Structure 1
Amino acid sequence: MASTTNIQLLTPQHWKDYELIDCGDFEKLERFGELVLIRPEPQAVWPKTLSEAEWTKRHDIRFKGRSATSGEWLKKNPKIQDRWHISYKNTDVAIKFRLGLTSFKHVGIFPEQAVNWDYISESVKSFKTAQPKVLNLFAYTGGASLIAKAAGADTTHVDSIKQVVTWANENQEISGIDNIRWVVEDALKFVKRELKRGNTYNGIILDPPAYGHGPKGEKWKLEDHIMEMMRDVVQLLDPEEHFLILNTYSLGFSSVIVENLIKTAYPKVENLEIGELYLQATAGIKLPLGVFGKFRKIKK
């Protein structure tokens, strides 16, 4: 069957606990639950829609960078806690996250990924396989892992940073989920070992960084290693029923590059969708936050 490619622009819908209010001048104003944060945003190269006075009035916490990789959080009210919880719910599942103010401007979640979470739960629920197996690589604090498990999948979560996996485990506990398999390991090494074991998965999620390090100092550079990774992971897909999501944040990667990667690694791909993830600000502007490629095959 000839493969078809659909190009899409996608943004999360109906998420009560998250809102991008505005973005511009290399910052974003966003609400997580009841707290409104200002954080750096290198993609927001246009002017702010709302006034600086409005931003100042509305925010609770602002991140001020000391360098390109670290900084500090300035709170309007010192009684504001460094940790808090938010929820996410779609038509299939509901999960919770513990958020936190880190020194790297992150809070433990990438909201635009909710589009991929919906695709994961929809895929798992639609599979004929009794308990689909899902592998989440570069899995961070586990949003995709929680969604897959809550939808009924036997889920393996792989990340190279132990503290991040611990955070993901906290999210599992507050979500009322259990039995996700946690693996602290270099993602590429894990995939190669799974190939040797002869294991297969019905779903594979890849959300690789531009740069990274494994627990034993292994180096990851997206443009150097992504083709090798793709050629390996497609061999782990169950041939009869599967989905795969590749998401990248690299400014140098377009959706066409992602399409070429997938089609080169998996020439028999069906139902391929590629495109761009963005957040729609209530002030009116769109914030692009990565490109994706995804496909699935369901038993007739």
Structure 2
Amino acid sequence: MKLLTPEHWKSYELIDSGNYKKLEKFGEFILSRPEPQAVWDPSMREDEWNKLNNAAFVKKKEEGNKNFDSERGEWVLKKGMKEQWLMPYSYKGMELKFRLGLSSFKHVGIFPEQASNWDYIYDTVKAMSGKPKVLNLFAYTGGASIAAKAAGADVTHVDSVKQVITWSRENMEASQLADIRWVVEDAMKFVQREVKRGNKYQGIILDPPAYGRGPTGEKWIIEEHLNQMLKYCADLLDNENYFFIINLYSIGFSALILETFTKQLFGDRKNLEIGELFLQDGFKKKLPLGVFSRFSSVKG
């Protein structure tokens, strides 16, 4: 079992975590956001958090149920806080820029722990023969897509939300990259069609949510649909020149589930890594932020 945390962030920092919240520095701004896995006590006092942050996300109470916190909420901004700003990420020859923004679901457009996978994607694509075709499913704002493109891959980016695709394009352009193929579609429908067409990809990346909906109301429930999705991915992945990454944030899914899926559906693949992604705050508390499985035909 492998534990991974990003090693090359210069513009991001997890300052503190606890009491179901995290205090993070994104470039020039410090944000306080909910975090269900930060079940311990914070190391700093509440007044210190309040003094440091430029904005804090406050959950809305659901009407009729005063004890239930929904995922939606609102940001409380201090003077000088911007609604949008840019943040860079550098690794070897990869120079990425992300347009960050304050959403009504607490997200800002980036998951900093995923930088460990961006580095892996960049190194793997660089080491692969030819110009690998890479498919990014549930691709959100495209960190993995632009990492693959920066390394020279032919990238197809699939997400069901048109506004998120627009956000991804802004990140590509801010990173001075071009020619990613954008697909606004339900991920399951897309891979099913690709299998029927006999298409193959040298790289497949997916980070599925616990629950979601496609553009025309298609339901995604991870417990019900992940097995079939991975079967399609196994059919689409090249057998000679390949890499594969799946990341799950859904609480309750262990890394052992991904290990079982990977070995059952993909067979004996080279360089298999199974583990957890985490961020460490300034007081050395480790915050778990997803389990992953990844492998490639490229020698490490």
Please give the TM-score of this superposition, normalised by the length of structure 2: 0.95
2:82 equivalent to 1:81: yes
Q: Give how far 1:270 is off.
A: 2.1
Name the structure 1 match of 2:167. 167
Q: Give how far 1:143 is off.
A: 0.3
Alignment of 1:101-180 (within 5 A): 101-128=102-129, 130-180=130-180
In the alignment, the residues of structure 1 paired with residue 226 and residue 269 of structure 2 have an alpha-carbon distance, to the nearest angstrom, of 18
Q: Give how far 1:115 is off.
A: 0.6
Name the structure 2 match of 1:71. 73
In the alignment, the residues of structure 2 paired with residue 124 and residue 187 of structure 1 have an alpha-carbon distance, to the nearest angstrom, of 23
**RMSD over equivalenced CA pairs, Å:** 1.0
Name the structure 2 match of 1:62. 56
Name the structure 2 match of 1:3. none
- Percent of paired sites with the same residue: 58
In the alignment, the residues of structure 2 paired with residue 167 and residue 189 of structure 1 have an alpha-carbon distance, to the nearest angstrom, of 22
2:97 equivalent to 1:96: yes
Structure 1 segments of 4+ aligned residues over 2 angstroms from their partners? none
- Which 10-residue stretch deviates more, 28-37 or 281-290? 281-290
Describe the superposition over 1:155-200 as per-residue Cα deviations: whole angstroms up to 9, x where unpaired.
0000001110011011111111100000000111100111111111
In the alignment, the residues of structure 2 paired with residue 112 and residue 259 of structure 1 have an alpha-carbon distance, to the nearest angstrom, of 20
In the alignment, the residues of structure 2 paired with residue 270 and residue 221 of structure 1 have an alpha-carbon distance, to the nearest angstrom, of 30
In the alignment, the residues of structure 2 paired with residue 41 and residue 213 of structure 1 have an alpha-carbon distance, to the nearest angstrom, of 23
2:73 equivalent to 1:42: no
Structure 2 residues without counterparts, runs of 5 or longer: 62-69
Opposite residue 17 of structure 1, the aligned amino acid is: S
In the alignment, the residues of structure 2 paired with residue 225 and residue 80 of structure 1 have an alpha-carbon distance, to the nearest angstrom, of 40
Q: Give how far 1:94 is off.
A: 1.1
Name the structure 1 match of 2:66. none
Q: Which of the pair has the greater relative contact order for Cα pairs under 8 Å at 6+ separation?
A: 1
Q: Give how far 1:62 is off.
A: 0.6
Structure 1 residues without counterparts, runs of 5 or longer: 1-6
Name the count of aligned residue pairs: 291
Please give the TM-score of this superposition, normalised by the length of structure 1: 0.95
8 Å contact kept, 1:92–1:121: no
8 Å contact kept, 1:50–1:283: no
Describe the superposition over 1:208-250 as per-residue Cα deviations: whole angstroms up to 9, x where unpaired.
0000111111110111111101111011111111000010011
Name the structure 2 match of 1:13. 7
Q: Give how far 1:271 is off.
A: 1.6
